[in-house]
Amino acid sequence: MTGIQIGIVMGSDSDVGVMKKAADILERFEIPYYMTVASAHRTPDRVAAIAERAEREGWKLLIAGAGMAAHLAGFLAAHTVVPVVGVPIDSSSLNGLDALLATVQMPGGVPVATMGIGAAGAKNAGILAVEVLAAFDPTLREKLRRFREEQKAEVEKKAAQMETSSL
Ligand code: RP5
């Protein structure tokens, strides 16, 4: 796969610990991606420019993570028809509930596919991005099936360990 396929944008560098989970998945599946910081409130022009670049370069999907009054995903979506996946970050005193509601409650006409709050949401955003690409790539689909099998084997292993130690 050549050229950037996925863009990961976060509202602040303080979000990187969470958003790295999405990047980790893309690296695991060898998907070329671009990751940066841009804020809907502090640098709106920069966010619009990223959306325009995504259109111009044919990126397949954008992942946007932001906390607090999280307008990043919706603001990106307003500037492009590239699909946007939103990750609400648990960076506030409301533990991300504010970001969840701000990200998920888009008015009809401009969708944001919103994940769960925090690290699991970021990981799932990465997996969802791979699933979207895999719809057009049988080799990637096969890799995703193996990923599921590995997860299953991990749980079986942990279950066996737990059962042995509780005997
Ligand atoms: C949001 O505000 C960011 O996405 C971050 O989650 C939160 C706090 O940002 P910083 O003040 O740490 O830069 O816009």
Provide, for the chain, the percentages of residues in helix, strand and coil under a 3-state DSSP scheme, each rounded to the nearest 5. 55, 15, 30
Report the separation in Å between the CA atom of 65 and the middle of ligand 1, taken as the mean of its atom positions.
10
Dihedral pair phi/psi, residue 106, rounded to 5°? -80, 145
3-state secondary structure of 6: strand
Mean pLDDT over 12-27 rounds to: 98
Q: Which domains does the chain have, with CATH numbers?
A: 6-138 (3.40.50.1970)
Taking only the tens place, the pLDDT of each residue in 101-153 is 999 999 999 999 999 999 999 999 999 999 999 999 999 999 999 999 999 99
Cα 78 off chain centre by:
18
Mean pLDDT over 6-35 rounds to: 98
Q: Which residue has the tokens 């960076």?
A: 91
Report the separation in Å between the CA atom of 75 and the middle of ligand 1, taken as the mean of its atom positions.
15
